[in-house]
Amino acid sequence: MGHHLRDRTSRRAVRALWAALVTAGTAASASAAEFTVAKVLVDDLKAGYATVEATDLLDARARIGGSIAGLVVDEGSMVTEGQVIATVGDRKLTFEMSAIAARAQSLNAERAQALTDYNRVRELTERGVTPKTRLTDAETKLKVAERNLAAMEAERDVVGQRAKDGNVLSPAAGRVVKVHISDGSVVMPGDVIAVVAPEKYVLRMRLPERNARFVAVGTPVLVGPRGLDIPRPEALSKGEVAQVYPSMDQGRVVADVKLDGLGDFFIGERAMVYVTSGTREALVVPAEAISRRFGVAYVRLKGGAEVVVQPGQPVRGGTEILAGLNEGDVVVTP
């Protein structure tokens, strides 16, 4: 008797619990939204790779010939505009400066003597002892000595400027990507000492010629994170085409993608990109309608049934469904 009473009590408890669950499910369904699956036009994304490149590569060149006496940068060094990255020393400049200094002393002495002679002749001329022609000759000699001295000072400035030109300056602020010489190397005027990339990077895509009509300035591009693995949809970043080059490179369209955060990439590093190559029909559901359990994606239909689906890439309006749903299905979203 007690055994049957316990069974009836258990059955009543189960029915009460089931009724509570149904009531809760009905309340949840009442607060949920319904979405009818239909085919819509979406962008047909083409996967490819883009390379991180600098917008410009600037050469730091030697302005005089000589030997590298001091190199202060290496590949990867950050530099500022006008920073001295190397020094070119020329021993001939030292000899020229010594010769100019000796000639300057001689010309200073000649000018001093010419000034003394001019003052003495002028005094004698004022007394009427010496004719004015001698005063004119003394004045001419003084002017010649002064001009020779001025020419020597100008020549000294030229040699001093050449010595200053031995400092190889960075043409812009950025990162040194290549150093072509080492300490002690002999260089000629115009030789490239280092290559500097300004801190402006772009993703450069090279797409097949058949995609040329789909690529234009402002075209959206999805970019994966660092690494060449196939990225997850939530890991994609949004960029856009900033420039399309008018000439093709070996049958490929070249375009630059503008994207923030490229400063952490290496120059030449590749990233996966997705760019539109036209439109096609697809089944799209809101992203919030998809739930995942143990790595499997589910969608709840009207009536409470759950179906397994295979989601694709995120598109405008939600997520593409590759399999598991049919056109006309009513999806319940939370």
277 vs 246: which has the higher pLDDT: 246
Q: What pLDDT sits at residue 230?
A: 63
pLDDT in tens, 132-176: 888 888 888 888 888 888 888 888 888 777 778 888 999 988 888
Helix (H, G, I), strand (E, B) or coil at 276: strand
- Chain mean pLDDT for the chain: 79
* Among 24, 17, 43, 88, residue whose Cα is nearest residue 320: 43
pTM of this structure: 0.52
Overall residue count recorded for the chain in this entry: 334
Give, rounded to a whole angstrom, the gap between the first and last alpha carbons of the chain: 48
> What architecture is the 57-88+166-199 domain classified under in CATH?
Beta Barrel (2.40)
Reported as half-sphere exposure (CB side, CA atoms, 13 A), residue 170 has a value of 24
What is the helix (H) or strand (E) element at residue 237, kind and residue range? strand 237-244
Q: What pLDDT sits at residue 192?
A: 92
* Residue pair 77/194 in contact by the 8 Å Cβ criterion: no
Give the whole-angstrom CA distance, residue 88 versus residue 318: 62
Q: What's CA 19's distance to the chain center, in Å?
A: 62
Band of the pLDDT at 15, cuts 50, 70, 90? Answer: very low
> What architecture is the 30-55+200-333 domain classified under in CATH?
Beta Barrel (2.40)
Is the pLDDT at 22 greater than 50, yes or no?
no
| Mean pLDDT of the region 228-232 | 64
Q: What pLDDT sits at residue 16?
A: 41
* Residue pair 151/100 in contact by the 8 Å Cβ criterion: no
For residue 232, what are the contacts with CB-CB under 8 A and spacing of at least 6? none
